[in-house]
Structure 1
Amino acid sequence: MEYIKQRLSAIYRESDTVKIWPELKGKLVEAKETPYKERKQRWDEKDIVLITYSDQFQEEGQPTLATFEKVFDRYLADKFEIVHLLPFYPYSSDDGFSVVDYKKVNPIAGDWEDVDKLSKKTRIMFDYVCNHISAKSDWFTEYKKGNPEYSGFFTEMDPNVDLSSVTRPRSTPVLTRFKMEDGSEKHIWTTFSEDQIDLNFKNPKVLLRMIDILLFYIEQGAEYIRLDAVGFMWKEVGGTCIHLEKTHQIIKLFRDIVEEVAKGTVIITETNVPHKDNISYFGNGSDEAHMVYQFPLPPLVLYSINRGNGSALTEWAKNLQPAGENTTFFNFLASHDGIGLNPIRGIISEEEILDLVTDLKREGAKVNYKKNPDGTESPYEINVTYLDALNKLSDNDELRVKRFLTAHSILLSLQGVPAVYIQSILGSRNDYEGAVKTGMNRSINRQKYSLDKIETELEKSGSLRSRIYGELTDIIQIRKAEALFHPDVPMEILEKGEKVFALKRGNDPQKSLINIHNIANEPVDYKISGSFINIITGEEMAFDGSITLSPYQFLWLKAI
């Protein structure tokens, strides 16, 4: 374990390392002796992730995890190999991301036995909310009481210090004023909200406590661990306080620990930032995150279909460097958050981003803004279901289905592990009532359902929800059965004009797969020759020069 001690020395002074190493080593020795569920080593084409809340489906008198298990068994188990359960711990705000107690299950969801039951049927991703904790937590309550055990757990700051260069993901202030039990006042660092108190990782005791949480999650069956808002963990006054070297070292330490204790556990970093910064969390390809979220993908696919022009998507995708032998991309289109815009700044002009925002607001989307260092505000994310983002209010359901499936074909075709949000698989529309009820724009894409209602709607033949569920899950199952979709199989982007997004998986012409997408609302000619099988329909197809693609048509063509 000496290499873990060396990693610790890259974070703290030698005196601090010497002080905390015996305790950390003891935790690791104990963890290694704990019997864990056997973990899959690496990933393959079958690995498709479902993103969901633990209370997504509800029935009276039942813990929501038990109800989710019913829906999963009936509708989802053969489609998804991994379930990302968004924070299922007790919380005070932000639909789970303001954790009150890291080691408890929200009573509405059930208990650890319910989590264990689900983990016996599928692999589970836990959220590790490592940057901040709830202002209602025992940790912060004891800190305000002056309990010395929690001294230095949070970042205190003189409100007169210039923090204008600090990267702001929200329009709220960096510091929040809190009254201590002794009557004094302190200003505490709160990156996201006054209810989400940043942990102070400069204090080695904080790191030890959070490693204890990490090991606990592994013990409870987490096979994928998502590091939420991880880019903000380390603070240095006078800079941006994001992506700092000590932050990277802490993530590398987390990877060292999971590799030592439960090899096969996957670390995923959630950093909703421009692409260059995002992929820095791969480290050197073997010492930091196993996967990083592909954050430019959701806004780029949306922009391309909205404009009927895939030039920006093609240019971006062709310049993607392979993730590396021991890493891969975590691809997605929709999640519990909005569609982030920061990741495409520098790929698409600011004028075009603002035009897209204006168009989507006109069609019913909500928008969240961030504060810039000069005091101005810029759109940070679009809040909308992905189905409604792709379509106009006046569109018919036939067009909605076509656009939606084309977008998800792109998602499922790209190199990496794809993830599908529960609202997408359900074909959900904007939940305006939910947004009004909570006062949060993000609630527009977080609707919860009674078990009776969702089963009735999914079984209603010909409905928009039923069609999207059926047709999307069909192509998911086809994707899982095709070895050329393995994340390690090479990808080549084919430049075939602005109205087409096309790519090839595999280097061998006799063992390759061409995925073609017409992203425009008009027929497009595509030049192609040879004999193929369309693996979606099973139809053999021969081309001698070109094919005409109907609006939003896509083909998965395997060479024969």
Structure 2
Amino acid sequence: CSRQHPWFQAYLAGETPYDEYFIEIDPDTDLSAVVRPRSSPLLTSVETNRGVRHVWTTFSDDQIDLNYANPAVLMEMLSILLEYVQHGARIIRLDAIAYLWKRIGTPCIHLPEVHLVVKLMRRLLDAVAPGTLVLTETNVPHKENISYFGDGDEAHIVYQFSLAPLLLDAYLSGDAQPLMRWLQEIREDDSLPPKTTFLNFTASHDGIGVRPLEGLVSEDRFERLIQAVTARGGLVSTRRNSDGADTPYELNITYFDALGEPDGLAPDRHARRFLSTQAVMLALRGIPAVYFHSLTATPNDRDGVQRTGHARAINRRRFTRKELEGLVGKVDSPQHIVFSEYKRMLARRTAQPAFHPDAAQRVVEVGDPALISFLREDAASGQRIWVVANAGAHERRLDLSALPDFQARADLLSGAALESNRGELTLSGWQAVWLTDGDTASGPAKTSEHGITTKR
């Protein structure tokens, strides 16, 4: 709840029922078990008509946590939930839902009461607004994140938080092995409940969360990723651990600038590298979410950081229409290339049954650490798409016999046909292909300047 909200102002004035809408804690209470997403103080002192009180502030001193253990608060929030639906909301995002419930002596994250509240919201929406989707946002390690599917009775959609940092790590290092291992693990371990899926994304109005990398990359590799981001003008936001130490929580940088180089890249190469990551994200099982500043290849807004004092402002630039048109309208600029190619890529994607959220996905091992490789298949139409991306800067050779029953005929991304009976495909640095063994889907066919080469 905003510090400026009438509810909190009424709390400060001691008005009923708002005097019990927030969580007051004695500052001498042992709160060392609480899992923190920030390095700021957990408790914030405020002046009330009853004297100084210390209220629970998980994220910042201007965001005061509501007391969901108070039935009046829970009912108020359920009423607001229904109001959103009444105004036409089709997807309801439960932001940072993991921290909803507090119980002293516990981590105060993922508590059973949190899952019960999500189930309650889901049942309420299913009853009064069937078809409304619940989307949970929990920037935590993968196994914790997917717990919000429940048994198919909690979220319909869960943010796929591990994807963004793993994909960035792959393209900065030229080594996709951790990403490929993770893709294999989620296929083997995550038997999703019916009618549920992931929200795949690489960027949002927040930073790139790094807690979802826990257990997926080594400490040395993680440190190299941090150094690579800061070398590209990024910032690192931290969280406070129970021992009082601060550790990285998120990387604040635009995804486009994260995929540049400290000494700069030629516009076409920078655009190609970035678009390759997006081609992978768009092709994965789930629903893709494209952040506005990815569509426009926005550079870091360091002026915004200085002006606001907030690290997340680096990825929240506000444009005038004239500025935006100038940015994406300059021919041969990386912004123009990305904007044009991204629109074409989205048009191609929407025409493919194999990219439906329910279409099957399996990893295809190709024996090259630089290559990302997986197959999407739609049972109803029979369409199959073999997605391959080169995370490295140099040319790689793809052995097409890695998928023996697949006769690659065309690349849906470039619109280029492949000669039959070819056993090898050459991928240029940072190139991605969506290979099909059937006819190319209808849609805007244009051969990209970064075409593919086949070799016998």
TM-score by length of 2: 0.91
One of 169, 184, 203 as aligned partner of 2:37:
169
What is the CA–CA distance in structure 2 between the aligned matches of 1:170 and 1:388, rounded to whole Å?
24
1:507, distance to aligned residue in structure 2 (A): 6.8
SS of the residue 2:172 aligns to = helix
> How far apart in 2 are the matches of 1:359 and 1:558?
35
2:268–2:337 Cα contact (<8 Å) kept: no
Report the Cα distance in structure 2 between the residues aligned to 1:198 and 1:420, rounded to whole angstroms. 29
CA distance in 2: counterparts of 1:212 and 1:161, whole angstroms: 33
CA distance in 1 between counterparts of 2:58 and 2:254 reads: 26
Of the three residues 374, 383, 391, the one matched with 1:511 is 383
SS in structure 2 of the partner of residue 140 of structure 1: helix
**In the alignment, is residue 220 of structure 1 matched against residue 87 of structure 2?**
yes
Match of 1:454 in 2: 324
Deviations 1:401-433 (A, max 9, x none): 111011001101100000010001011000111
**304, 319, 324: which one aligns with 2:185:** 319
Per chain length, whose mean CA-contact separation is higher, i.e. which structure has more relative contact order (CA < 8 Å, sep 6+)? 1
* CA distance in structure 2 between the aligned counterparts of 1:214 and 1:531, rounded to whole angstroms: 48
Match of 2:430 among 530, 533, 552: 552
**SS in structure 2 at match of 1:544:** coil
Residue 446 of structure 2 corresponds to none
- Pairing 1:266–2:129 present: no
Q: Output the CA distance in 2 between the equivalents of 1:162 and 1:438.
A: 33
User: Which residue of 336, 345, 368 maps to 2:205?
Assistant: 336
Q: Name the residue aligned to 1:345.
A: 214
Contact kept, 8 Å, 1:391 with 1:400, in 2: the verdict is yes
- CA offsets, 1:91-121, max 9 Å, x none? xxxxxxxxxxxxxxxxxxxxxxxxxxxxxxx
Q: Report SS of the residue matched to 2:17.
A: helix
Q: Secondary structure at the match of 1:557?
A: strand
Corresponding position of 1:67: none
**How far apart, CA to CA, are the structure 2 residues paired with 1:282 and 1:435?**
36
Structure 2 residue 296 is matched with structure 1 residue 426: yes
- Are the aligned partners of 1:275 and 1:343 in contact in 2 as well (CA < 8 Å)? yes
Q: In the alignment, is the contact (CA less than 8 A) between 1:528 and 1:543 conserved in 2?
A: no
Match of 1:122 in 2: none
CA distance in structure 1 between the partners assigned to 2:283 and 2:155 by the alignment = 22
Q: Given the alignment, which residue of 254, 266, 275 partners 1:396?
A: 266
Distance 2:68 2:382 in 1: 53
In structure 2, what is the equivalent of residue 107 of structure 1?
none
Q: Contact 2:387/2:432 (CA < 8 Å) preserved in 1?
A: yes
2:71 to 186, 204, 211: 204
Question: 1:543 & 1:335 partners in 2: Cα distance?
Answer: 43
Q: Could you tell me which of 372, 381, 384 is aligned with 2:250?
A: 381
- Partner residue in 1 for 2:409: 532
Question: Following TM superposition, by how much is the alpha carbon of 1:543 offset from its aligned partner in structure 2, in angstroms?
Answer: 4.5
Kindly provide the CA deviation profile for residues 116-147 of structure 1, in whole angstroms up to 9, marking residues without a partner as x: xxxxxxxxxxxxxxxxx011111011111111
Distance 1:376 1:210, change over 3 A: same
Gaps of 5+ in 1: 1-132
Alpha-carbon distance between aligned partners in 2 of 1:431 and 1:539, rounded to the nearest angstrom: 37
SS at the partner of 1:462?
coil
Matches within 5 A, 1:231-310: 231-284=98-151, 286-310=152-176
The Cα offsets for residues 360-414 of structure 1, whole Å up to 9 and x where unpaired, read as: 2122111111111111111111100000111113222122111101100110110
Q: What residue number does 1:130 align with?
A: none
- Kindly state the Cα deviation for residue 220 of structure 1 after the two structures are TM-superposed: 1.1
Q: How many residue pairs get matched?
A: 426
Structure 1 position 412 matched with structure 2 position 282 = yes
CA–CA separation in structure 2 for the residues paired with 1:510 and 1:136: 55
Contact 1:323/1:329, CA 8 A, preserved across alignment: no
1:481 aligned to which of 348, 351, 374: 351
3-state SS of paired residue (2:60): coil
Single out whichever of 387-396 and 136-145 deviates more from structure 2. Answer: 387-396
Deviation (angstroms), 1:322: 4.2
1:550, 1:539 → 2: CA distance? 15
- Larger deviation, residues 172-181 vs 192-201: 172-181
Amino acid at match of 1:308: G
1:429-448 alignment, distance < 5 Å = 429-448=299-318
1:371 maps to amino acid: R
Inter-partner Cα distance in structure 2 for 1:185 and 1:434 = 34
Farther off after superposition, 454-463 or 299-308: 454-463
Partner of 2:76, secondary structure, is helix
Corresponding residue to 2:393 among 521, 524, 532: 521
Whether the 8 Å CA contact 1:153–1:203 is kept in 2: the answer is: yes
Q: CA deviation at 1:359?
A: 2.1
Letter in 2 for 1:271: T
- For 2:394 and 2:421, the matched residues in 1 are separated by 21
Determine the C-alpha separation between the residues in 2 that align with 1:531 and 1:202: 57
CA distance in 1, matches of 2:233, 2:341: 26
Output aligned runs, 1:92-103, within 5 Å: none
Q: Deviations over 1:249-268 (max 9, x none)?
A: 00111111111111111110
Q: For the Cα contact (< 8 Å) 2:203–2:291, is it kept in 1?
A: yes
Q: Deviations over 1:224-246 (max 9, x none)?
A: 11111110000011110000000
Any conservation in 1 of the 2:353–2:378 contact (CA below 8 Å)? Answer: no
Contact kept in structure 2, 1:510 and 1:559, CA below 8 Å: no
Cα separation, 1, equivalents of 2:396 and 2:378: 26
2:442 is aligned to none
C-alpha spacing 1:281/1:397, structure 2 compared with 1 (3 Å)? same
Measure the CA separation in 2 of the matches of 1:406 and 1:543.
26
- Distance in 2 (CA, whole Å) between partners of 1:531 and 1:537 is 14
